[in-house]
Amino acid sequence: MAITQVNVPDIGDFDSVEVIEVLVAEGDQVEVDDSLITLESDKATMEIPSPFSGKITKIAISVGDSVSEGNYLLDIEASDEAAEAPKEAPKAETVSTAMPAPTEAPTSSPTQAPAAAQTVSNAKPVNPQAMGAAFHASPSVRAFARKLGVDLTHVEGKGPKGRIQQTDVEAAIKAVMSGQAPAPGQGAMSGSGIPPIPGIDFSQFGDTTTEELGRIKKISGKFLHASWLNVPHVTQFDECDITEMDQFRKDQKAAAEKQGIKLTPLVFVMKAVVKALQDFPSFNASLSEDGQSIIKKHYYNIGIAVDTPNGLVVPVVKDVDKKGIYELSRDLMEISAKARDGKLGPKDMQGGCFTISSLGGIGGTQFTPIVNAPEVAIMGLSKAKMQPVWNGSEFEPRLIMPFSVSYDHRAIDGAEGVRFTTTVANYLSDLRQLIL
């Protein structure tokens, strides 16, 4: 028996390639062409096969190491006959059209060129899962799965030699969504591919106090988490000049107070949003359960996020398109009071088409609100402030309000997203456009 070194074979033009899987352990018995390690560059995944049958006696690399052609990998205790009769040196098997076309590999005796002598052509299929690999996929598929939060260790690969392809990832997601596979936390997409946060005894670092979350936070937390995991969020940031709008509001303030109404900027934003929803119906919609259709709504109910001592709630103002500024102000005052008193009923929280979350009264410059699924978009309002704006000849003070819109990228494209925010900004800058 002879101990023979196995080195990295010819891997083309790649250099310093990362080791992403070590498929064997010391003491394992391997056959010719069994996979030993998997390398991954930014363009390809490559398997390094065993040049001999024998027992693994030493492993010199580990996951995360970077290797190049000729680098020492491991030792195999092979029979003298196997060590003395090397086959033609192989190329590492690669899954990518970006890899160079194979060229004839040199051959030589073990004493002249160990790296070349101790590799063989990959003549038979290699099953990476059989050799202990958790999964086998190309870099692009791995990136695709990471983006969607899919744990590839539970996805069945139907490509050549058990390789996971993008269609396999899509099939796994569809199976979970349709109920044909276990739900998150129970199988194929456990935790949506997100590892749990480890538990820590914080009392070891100092005094602590544990308080149970309130009922509202417990309930809303589940919905927010589900929305964040299931909706591919995009947030568009923008700002608008509300100088004239705020002046109009102040001019109407005295008349509104005589009727017991508190006139806030939010009601004007609601009217501008509804007009923009009419211009862009994809925002006033929801996706079907299977994600294959979009359900466009022909009513305009706006959810308003309200901060209460017990947590965030989102009551819904119905038929905003049919109501005037004063009537909307009364509705806002009523639902806000019910929210703070904890008296909102189920009907007060249902039927929303679009949500507005306003933090302008507290502060901040910009934030990213989470879509209130099954709605497809939500607006976040931040604190307005006076800024110098160039009017063509001089700077003049203008009241500028920053805002953002998060939306479901499955239903709304980026270009449509920015057109929507631009339209809202135009309406708020000139309220006269709302009557056109």
Name the pLDDT band for 35 (thresholds 50, 70, 90). confident
Pick the range with the lowest mean pLDDT from 28-37, 244-253, 401-410. 28-37
End-to-end Cα separation, the chain, in angstroms: 91
Residue 80: predicted pLDDT? 65
- Kindly tell me if the per-residue pLDDT of 64 is higher than 80: yes
pLDDT tier, 112 (very low <50, low <70, confident <90, very high otherwise): very low
- What is the reported pLDDT for 232? 94
pLDDT of residue 245: 96
- What confidence score (pLDDT) does residue 183 get? 45
Greater confidence, 19 or 396?
A: 396
Active site residue ranges? 409
Lowest mean pLDDT among 2-11, 108-117, 286-295, 345-354: 108-117
The structural domains of the chain, with segments of one domain joined by +, span 2-117, 139-192, 223-435
Q: What is the mean pLDDT of residues 406-428?
A: 97
Predicted pLDDT of residue 252: 94
Given a cut of 90, is residue 332 above it in pLDDT?
yes
Question: In whole angstroms, what is the distance from residue 177 CA to residue 183 CA?
Answer: 8
- Rounded mean pLDDT of 83-100? 47
Residue 50 has pLDDT above 80, yes or no: yes
Strands (E), 34-169: 35-40, 45-49, 54-59, 66-67, 72-78, 93-95
Q: What is the CATH number of domain 223-435?
A: 3.30.559.10
d(Cα 20, Cα 165) in Å, to the nearest integer? Answer: 18
Segment 145-149 shows an average pLDDT of 79
Higher-confidence residue: 134 or 351? 351
| Exposed/middle/buried for residue 210 (C-beta within 10 Å: 0-12, 13-18, 19+) | exposed
CA nearest neighbour of 405 among 362, 372, 383: 372
What gap in Å lies between CA 419 and CA 433, rounded to an integer? 16
**Can you give the pLDDT at residue 182?**
55
* Residue 282: predicted pLDDT: 97
Instruction: Compute the mean pLDDT over every residue in the chain, rounded to the nearest whole number.
Output: 82
Mean pLDDT of 333-343: 89
- For 139-192, CATH gives 4.10.320.10
Q: What's the pLDDT tens digit per position in 161-204?
A: 677 888 888 888 877 776 565 544 444 344 455 677 888 889 99
pLDDT in tens, 364-380: 899 999 999 999 999 99
CB hemisphere CA count around 213 (13 angstroms): 10
Residue 414: pLDDT above 80?
yes
Helix (H, G, I), strand (E, B) or coil at 262: coil
Between residues 121 and 370, the one the model is more confident about: 370
Class (C level, CATH) for 2-117: mainly beta
Phi, psi of 417 (to 5 degrees): -60, -45
In this prediction, residues 111-139 reach a mean pLDDT of 45
- Among 129-133, 227-231, 384-388, where is mean pLDDT lowest? 129-133
> 10 Å Cβ neighbour count for 9?
23
Higher pLDDT, 121 or 277: 277
Q: Given a cut of 70, is residue 65 above it in pLDDT?
A: yes
